[in-house]
Amino acid sequence: MLRRVRLFFTLFLVCFAMLGGPVAAQLTDRQSEYYQGWLSTANRAETVIEANRASNAALENLRSEINGYREDFNRARGANTERIQTLQSQLDALGPKPEGDAIEPEDIANIRAHLEEQLNSLRVPRIISEEAFSRANGLISEIDQIIRHRQTKELLERGPSPINPASWGPAWTDVKNALRSLVNETIENLRTDVVHEQIRERGLVIFVFVAIATVLLMFGRRWSERGGDYLRRLGGSGSGVWTFVISLLRIALPWLGVLAAVVAVSLTEVLGVRGALLLEKIPFWAAIILFYDWIGRQIYLIGEAQGFKQLSAAKIRELRVYIDLLALMLILHELTILFQEIENVSDTTRAVVSFPVVVVTALLLLRVRHIRTADIQHDASDTSGATRAAGFGQLVEFLRRALFILGITTPVLAVFGYTNAAEAIVFPAVKTLVLIAALVIFHRFITQVYGWITGQDEAVWDSLFSVLVGFALAILALPVLALYWGARETDLLEAWTRLLRGFDVGGVTISPSNFFTFLIVFLIGYGLTRMLQSGLRNSLLPKTKIDPGGQNAIAAGTGYVGVFLAALVAIMVAGFDLSSLAIVAGALSVGIGFGLQTIVSNFVSGIILLVERPISKGDWIDVNGMMGYVRDISVRSTRIETFDRTDLIVPNSDLISGVVTNYTRGNTIGRVIVPVGVAYGTDTRLVEKILGDVANSHPMVVANPAPTVVFQGFGADSLDFEIRAILRDVNWVLSVKSDMNHEINRRFVEEGIEIPFAQRDVWLRNPETLQSKGSTPDADKTPPEQSKTKPIDMSETDLSEGDGDEI
């Protein structure tokens, strides 16, 4: 029903255009003719979709035709954008039309009519293209849905069981007939005069290709080794780079020999239709055999390099044989598909012929798993490649489990008649296994090349480059894996097309082109900002009279402004409409207010610190009892280096809202207080004179204001004095205090002034009570005169606290 309504609306639009309506004036003859062709195709496609009887090949062809129209309409949707914006801005400049009985001046009315006519002539094709594009999108989606539904149905369809003995006879008959037809076609062609004439005319060319094939097949590998000896002279011995290149030559030269042989046979034209179809597949099958053999050798070399125990010679040969047999099974699978297409055999014959190939492939996968489980184990004594071997071992363990499941499942499915499902699992599994191995091999090769060029050698395996290469190879392998597991090429192209068109977020279309444009412009702006910051820090600001804290604030503020401007310019160049994101930004603001308020508070506090500068880089501050130097002020926190060389990370909000003592704010002048105690009976004026001389003689003490000596009072054990002096640089307060103490001690020794230490007298109350507890009979006979209370002299170290404690 929806299709019919849409079709009616489209036909009405076109008829209206042809009858001389406003649209007709906006479409050229060529555009109308093209649009009529599109309508015919779209109507035919809707009829085919509704009938749902066309073959998959016919649907694919129809889809390709519709896709061509869709691409044209997609380009037409964005045509004349700048011109339309210019015309619209001109109309906006004229202002709105007068309302009511007001009459617009004739000149302005003419200009307005002319602009509106031009604007409509540009807008109408875009509107029609937008409608046609949407219709084409819908038709393509419906065709894809039909094909996917058929594929799913075919995959889950249950056919005849291949283990039924009644099916073996007809299947064998079909195979024999196919072989007999192939041989008969070849013999018949050999007897014809046309083939004899072709051989005589092309005999020299055929001989040349045969000779090339023979030479390459016999001497190709030997020549590759010689070429490797020449390449090793260029350097890089021991890196494994040239070994990899030689291994590629070892399979490339024989494959070229096979290709030459195929060309030679095709020039004779002795093969019939069946033989020609088989001959076309031979280069592909030869590539499979050579590539799988190469994979087997490379996997062993990687396993040995990663720190695994070496396999015995017999096990190496067995492993390579299994991999080669897997290649042979893939070729046999391709041959069975070709057999079905050429001979158009029944499903029973197809199941019987495919069953041995499926079972043998599954058994080979199990055997490969068994070999790697039993023989390839990590050598604990070899720690050189332990890190790389750990990741490789995890991959091997995952593949082992997958091979076990597949090796058990696929034969069971084939036995119960699900031949299509079994084939759709086991053969893609083999291809996936080989693809993973190829990715590991090429990742190793690219990393080795990079390590050889940069001279990093083994250190390159822990570099970021190795990780990025692995990630890029994995991304590139995703489309190949999708094709292996049943995806169509059109599905991948459709996904790529949708990705290029982008997706809508808050009214803003984000596409790869817009994203990369934004990224490139932002990176350029970010780089320029960093260059400007570096120039300010190293060249311009040090030549000014601005203090280091102010220089750091200017450089940091320049960085924030530069990054903001870079992001703003990148958004504008990429074509993002920020007005469309107003609602999204409002929602984000609410989320920030609730969930990120601490981070935002620290960010704003960091900006306040850089602008107001209550503390600056290099200041000596005290915050929450922790003292140290400010080393860095960032947008979220401030790094303080304490006197024991540890870093204290303080959130910026604590510095703004809390109490902070800044000892060097504005200048480095500060005061030092040195307390001194002397014994009772000492001449206080003499002490005052000595302390004053000590303070005035130190070079770090300023003369104005002059240092003072204060007699604080009478302490419990001493007469207490204090030196109070202003220092040129408060950062030297500990050194100055130490120097003054040394000098005070020396002068007091010369003058015979005593610096007392604390002494305590302990008096025992009721000593007879202490003696009665735990006393012996002899102790009770102690004369009374010996039990009188006596003072006991104890040093301060014998008491924990208090003066004149009583026990």
What are the beta bridge partners of residue 505? 508
Neighbour-count burial for 244-273, b at 16+ CB within 10 Å, e otherwise:
bbbbebbbbbbbbbbbbbbbbbbbbbbbbe
Query: Could you tell me the domains of the chain?
Result: 2-96+105-156 (no CATH), 166-191+271-496 (no CATH), 502-595 (1.10.287), 597-664 (2.30.30.60), 670-757 (3.30.70.100), 760-798 (no CATH)
Q: Could you tell me which residues come within 8 angstroms of residue 777 by beta carbon, excluding any fewer than 6 positions away? A: none
Mean pLDDT on 738-756: 91
Q: Dihedral through CA 698, CA 701, CA 702, CA 705, nearest 10?
A: -110
pLDDT at residue number 111: 87
Q: What Rg, from alpha-carbon coordinates, does the chain have?
A: 46
Is pLDDT of 131 > 50?
yes
477: its two tokens:
């392998």
Q: Are 425 and 406 in contact (CB under 8 A)?
A: yes
CA 580 to chain centroid: 29
Residue that wins the pLDDT comparison between 746 and 786: 746
Q: Which range has the worst mean pLDDT, 258-272, 389-403, 708-722?
A: 389-403
pLDDT classification of 694: cutoffs 50, 70, 90 = very high
- What pLDDT band is residue 235 in, cutting at 50, 70 and 90? low
Confidence of residue 390 (pLDDT cuts 50, 70, 90): low
Query: With bands split at pLDDT 50, 70 and 90, how would you rate the model's confidence at 608?
Result: confident
What's residue 395's pLDDT?
66
The Cα 336–Cα 351 span in angstroms is 10
Nearest partner of 422 among 401, 433, 403, 407, judged by Cα: 407
Give 660-679 pLDDT, tens digit per residue. 888 887 777 888 899 999 99
347-361, 440-454, 465-479, 637-651: the lowest-pLDDT one: 440-454
- DSSP annotation of 238 reads T
DSSP single-letter state for residue 385: T
User: Is the per-residue pLDDT at 596 higher than 60?
Assistant: yes
Q: For the chain, what is the mean pLDDT?
A: 79
CA distance 420 to 73: 39
More confident residue, 684 or 612: 684
pLDDT band at 584 (very low <50, low <70, confident <90, very high): low
- 522 near 566, Cβ under 8 Å? yes
Supply the DSSP string of 681-695, one letter for each residue.
Answer: TS-HHHHHHHHHHHH
Q: What ranges in 376-484 are assigned the alpha helix state H?
A: 386-415, 419-454, 464-484
pLDDT at 251 over 70: yes
Summarised one tens digit per residue, pLDDT across range 276-333 is 888 899 999 999 999 988 888 777 666 555 544 445 556 667 777 888 899 999 999 9
Strands 759-762 and 792-795: antiparallel
